């Protein structure tokens, strides 16, 4: 019996209010409207950003909502006018869309899109209505993708068709964490062969940055984390040195500068704290160093720092999803993964049923997991 054109009842992890854990509920998912796609999510990773949302620290979100933005699934049905995917295709939902028409999309140097959440909130579909209800209440979408729902609807510009051979329980990480860290090194910093790098924070994003530095040919990769439990995996993925700031009396930027002579060529912050962001900046070469901010500070935070840090030429850059134009690049990253060009599997420490979503968040918060993948 086909579900096309019908409301689907299925499970979803719902965030009813700020600061509360998620509840797995039965929700109703309306069919896709024109230029929209309904996808059956098979697997979804738990990313730090979902935790920001639950704590109320992610900009422009509205409760109740269905979070999740690092998923992979299969197209169930398509709305009128959709041409790039068909029912049955394997896809990755894109938390950063690529409309292909705006000034950012047309600029080869940008991966931003005018339709991204920071311009036009993605708490409802483009026609300003929601496709989700639960217990008679309307639920908001999250970043247009809401991958913590077994079935979810997104605009066509926020979905990319991938190789039919891709294992969805692994490539879901290509929806956010891996491309963010890997691309921070490859695209944003443009790490050069033989260079020296430092990566602050060894979660899914930081470890992916370590992989990116290695792939770019860095000769020294210094991994920095206060949790030494993360060091073994960092070494396995390419870190040459691992240091904990807690082992030193002096600030970590002084330690890194002494270790390297003039500071590292590239530093990456993948934690999301003010102090480590400034420490990462101060750790790179004062004249030619590039510091990339991959971590996300709570929305509304401000930072104060000594502008002398930049005077001699250091650069401080942000990165959104690692600089990839998502619809163009994610399918290519899936192919690279299938060709074993990088190892995503090492980032996945836990696989849990959707019913254990809150346990997955607890593992992340206590530093016991890198990525937990939830299965429907
Ligand atoms: N110094 C060094 N390491 C630290 C510090 C600190 N002061 N505080 C936390 N860490 C380490 C943690 O021990 C952990 O290993 O930073 C790591 C952060 O990893 P995760 O919590 O798993 O986060 P991740 O999913 O990798 O995301 C990192 O990127 O996209 C953003 O929102 C995301 O801000 C978050 C960041
Ligand atoms: Zn665009
Ligand atoms: Zn994420």
- Rounded to an integer, the average pLDDT of 263-279 is 97
Residue 93 has a pLDDT of 98
For residue 167, give every residue at least 6 positions away whose Cβ sits within 8 Å of its Cβ, in sequence order, or none.
none
Ligand 1 neighbourhood includes 295 CB (under 6 angstroms): yes
- The closest ligand to the CA of 58 turns out to be 1
> What atom in ligand 1 is closest to the CA of residue 252?
1
Ligand 1 neighbourhood includes 294 CB (under 6 angstroms): yes
Ligand 1 neighbourhood includes 156 CB (under 6 angstroms): no
By the CB criterion, residues less than 5 angstroms from ion ligand 3 are: 47, 49, 176
| pLDDT tier at 120, thresholds 50, 70, 90 | confident
- How many Å lie between the centroid of ligand 1 and the Cα of residue 358? 19
Ligand 1 neighbourhood includes 207 CB (under 6 angstroms): no
Mutate to test the pocket of ligand 1, among 203, 228, 363 (most ligand atoms within 8 A of CB): 203
For residue 275, give every residue at least 6 positions away whose Cβ sits within 8 Å of its Cβ, in sequence order, or none.
none
Residue from 173, 178, 270, 176 nearest 221 by CA: 270
Contact 237, 210 (CB under 8 A): yes
- How many Å lie between the centroid of ligand 1 and the Cα of residue 365? 10
Residue 171 has a pLDDT of 98
- How many Å lie between the centroid of ligand 2 and the Cα of residue 111? 9
- How many Å lie between the centroid of ligand 1 and the Cα of residue 272? 6
For residue 299, pLDDT beyond 90: no
> What atom in ligand 1 is closest to the CA of residue 208?
26
Contact 122, 348 (CB under 8 A): no
How many percent of the chain have pLDDT more than 90?
97
| pLDDT tier at 253, thresholds 50, 70, 90 | very high
pLDDT digits (tens, 9 = 90+) for 24-73: 999 999 999 999 999 999 999 999 999 999 999 999 999 999 999 999 99
- How many Å lie between the centroid of ligand 3 and the Cα of residue 95? 8
| CA quadruple 18, 321, 73, 108: dihedral, nearest 10 | 140
For residue 1, pLDDT beyond 80: no
DSSP secondary structure, 127-165, as one string? TS--SEEETTEEEB-STTT-TTBSEEEEEGGGEEE--TT
Ligand 1 neighbourhood includes 183 CB (under 6 angstroms): no
SS3 content of the chain, % helix, strand, coil (to 5): 30, 25, 45
- How many Å lie between the centroid of ligand 3 and the Cα of residue 311? 32
- How many Å lie between the centroid of ligand 3 and the Cα of residue 347? 14
How many residues are recorded in the chain?
376
pLDDT digits (tens, 9 = 90+) for 212-245: 999 999 999 999 999 999 999 999 999 999 999 9
- Tell me what the pLDDT averaged over the chain comes to: 97
Question: Going by CA atoms, what residue is nearest to atom 2 of ligand 1?
Answer: 225
Residue 154 has a pLDDT of 98
pLDDT digits (tens, 9 = 90+) for 60-90: 999 999 999 999 999 999 999 999 999 999 9
> What atom in ligand 1 is closest to the CA of residue 176?
30
- Rounded to an integer, the average pLDDT of 85-97 is 98
Residue 300 has a pLDDT of 86
């Amino acid at each position: 019996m086909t579900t096309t054109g019908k409301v689907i009842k299925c499970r979803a992890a719902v965030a009813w209010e700020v600061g509360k854990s998620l509840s797995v509920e039965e929700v109703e998912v309306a069919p896709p409207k024109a230029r929209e796609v309904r996808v059956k999510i098979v697997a979804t990773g738990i990313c730090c950003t979902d935790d920001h949302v639950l704590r109320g620290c992610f900009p422009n979100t509205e409760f109740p909502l269905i979070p999740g933005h690092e998923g992979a699934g299969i197209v169930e049905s398509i709305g009128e006018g959709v041409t790039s995917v068909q029912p049955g295709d394997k896809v990755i939902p894109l938390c950063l869309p690529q409309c292909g028409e705006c000034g950012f999309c047309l600029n080869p140097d940008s991966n931003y899109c005018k339709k991204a959440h920071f311009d036009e909130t993605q708490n409802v579909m483009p026609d300003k209505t929601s496709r989700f209800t639960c217990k008679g209440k309307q639920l908001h979408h999250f970043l247009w993708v809401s991958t913590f729902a077994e079935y979810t609807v997104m605009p066509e510009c926020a979905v990319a068709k991938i190789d039919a051979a891709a294992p969805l329980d692994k490539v879901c990480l290509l929806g956010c964490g891996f491309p963010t860290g890997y691309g921070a090194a490859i695209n944003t910093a443009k790490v050069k062969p033989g260079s020296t790098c430092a990566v602050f924070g060894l979660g899914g994003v930081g470890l992916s940055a370590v992989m990116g530095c290695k792939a770019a040919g860095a000769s020294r990769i210094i991994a920095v984390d206060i949790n030494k439990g993360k060091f073994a995996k960092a070494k396995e993925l390419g870190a040459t040195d691992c240091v904990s700031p807690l082992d030193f009396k002096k600030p970590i930027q002084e330690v890194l500068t002494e270790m390297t002579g003039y500071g590292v060529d590239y530093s990456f912050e993948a934690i999301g704290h003010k102090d480590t962001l400034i420490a990462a900046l101060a750790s790179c070469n004062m004249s030619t160093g590039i510091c990339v901010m991959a971590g996300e500070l709570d929305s509304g935070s401000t930072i104060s720092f000594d502008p002398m840090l930049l005077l001699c030429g250091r650069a401080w850059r942000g990165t959104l999803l690692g600089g990839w134009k998502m619809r163009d690049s994610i399918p290519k990253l899936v192919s690279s993964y299938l060709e074993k060009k990088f190892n995503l599997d090492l980032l996945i420490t836990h696989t849990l049923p959707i019913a254990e979503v809150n346990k997955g968040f607890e593992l992340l918060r206590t530093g016991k997991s890198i990525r937990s993948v939830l299965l429907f």
